[in-house]
Amino acid sequence: MKKQRSHTPRIRSRTSRQAPPSPPVLRVSGLTFAYPGRSVLRGISLEAREGEAVAILGPNGSGKSTLLKIIATLALPADGSVFLDRWDVAQHPGEARAHLGVVFQSPALDDKLTVLENLHFHGLLYGLAQPLLGDRIKESLEVFRLWDRRHERVEKLSGGLQRRVELAKGILHKPRLLLLDEPSTGLDPAARLEFWYFLRRILRSAPMCAILTTHLTDEADRCDRVLIMDRGEALAMGSPGELKGKLGGDIVVLQSSDLQKLRRKVHRHFRLDGTLSNTELHLRVPGGAEVLPRLVRSFPELIESATLRKPSLEDVFLQRTGHRLHHESAEATRGDS
Ligand code: ADP
């Protein structure tokens, strides 16, 4: 007994000492950016650690691509800083680029060249020479199960395979950070699943992290952490579970031909403040399973349909902004003062 009691705490303390959080690979602090007459980013901060996939989630025009451009050394912020490991990217863009992999939204492959040729030229651009270049190409293509397709011209490959070639190219020089701009755009559901399988695989096998921009909540849901942005501002940061958990309760979604009237009545009789969204009234309530039938019984003439679900990242966005993620590009691009 004595032996066991003294042994157990020693193991525990050693385990806890062994797992300090790794220092962030990427540290973005207080980033501010403006085009002439238009403020685009205001005080954005963000971190990413080895093994993590971090999503920047926001509607069109919220500043996601601009943030990615600054991290990729393609634009300079007015204020704030970006560190990639020890490199301040504004001060040392060359060093930062050497440790960055970028997969842009629009394909950056030469589709008349073979898979192998595309990777070969990319490797040369990064200063890789034979025999290391050949080894790296083989390694990257094997990770993405593309080795057998290496002699095929890119134009002959499906969209999903082309995206895999882009990823293989993006990690060829073993970057610390992989930047992905709207990586699922143009991919069918099967190719998207495949993309996520391979992204997770490289994040497990190499000491790197990934930042991806998206306007899709289901894509952000797959990430370890999410930065929610709207109109150049960071609204929230956390794991998808934390962000949804903070919202709490259930979401009751009501449809009606007279949403304003329904909203007023719900407020008067239930003391619930709803958010109008398109043709729906969204109510965040504790114990939705009890509240929903009472609502339907109270306003049968007004309620056309009623559904109950757990909060989503879309609800987090709606709660923070008062508008939905997917149909306010016009609002978002209207600009800010
Ligand atoms: P997102 O990637 O979230 O769609 P962007 O970073 O592309 O957002 O754009 C953010 C804002 O900056 C938008 O309002 C957009 O209209 C504006 N913007 C983007 N590029 C330019 C530019 N070259 N000149 C002026 N405004 C720009």
Question: What string of pLDDT tens digits covers the 337 residues of the chain?
Answer: 344 444 444 444 444 456 667 789 999 999 999 999 999 999 999 999 999 999 999 999 999 999 999 999 999 999 999 999 999 999 999 999 999 999 887 778 899 999 999 999 999 988 888 899 999 999 889 888 899 999 999 999 998 889 889 989 998 999 999 999 998 877 888 888 888 998 998 899 889 999 999 999 999 999 999 999 999 999 999 999 999 998 888 999 999 989 999 999 999 999 998 888 778 899 999 999 999 999 999 999 999 999 999 999 998 998 888 888 875 443 333 333 2
Query: What is the three-state SS of the chain?
Result: CHHHHHHHHHHHHHHHHHCCCCCCCEEEEEEEEEECCEEEEEEEEEEECCCCEEEEECCCCCCHHHHHHHHCCCCCCCEEEEEECCEECCCCHHHHHHCEEEECCCCCCCCCCEHHHHHHHHHHHCCCCCCHHHHHHHHHHHHCCCHHHCCCEHHHCCHHHHHHHHHHHHCCCCCCEEEEECCCCCCCHHHHHHHHHHHHHHHHHCCCEEEEEECCHHHHHCCCEEEEEECCEEEEEECHHHHHHHHCCEEEEEECCCHHHHHHHHHHHHCCCCEEECCEEEEEECCHHHHHHHHHHHCCCCCCEEEEECCCHHHHHHHHHCCCCCCCHHHHCCCCC
**Ligand 1 center from residue 240 Cα (angstroms):** 26
Residues of the chain with CATH 3.30.70.260: 248-333
- Ligand 1 binding pocket (C-beta < 6 A) is 35, 38, 40, 58, 60-66, 333
Q: What is the pTM of this model?
A: 0.83
- Write the class of the CATH domain 9-243: alpha beta
Point out the ligand 1 atom lying closest to the alpha carbon of residue 181.
2
Point out the ligand 1 atom lying closest to the alpha carbon of residue 62.
3
User: Tell me, what's the pLDDT at 20?
Assistant: 67
User: Tell me, what's the pLDDT at 14?
Assistant: 45
**Ligand 1 center from residue 16 Cα (angstroms):** 45
**Ligand 1 center from residue 186 Cα (angstroms):** 21
Residues of the chain with CATH 3.40.50.300: 9-243
Which CATH architecture group holds 248-333? 2-Layer Sandwich (3.30)
Which residue is closest in CA terms to ligand 1's atom 11? 61
Q: Which of 31, 32, 33, 38 to mutate to test the pocket of ligand 1 (most atoms within 8 A of CB)?
A: 38
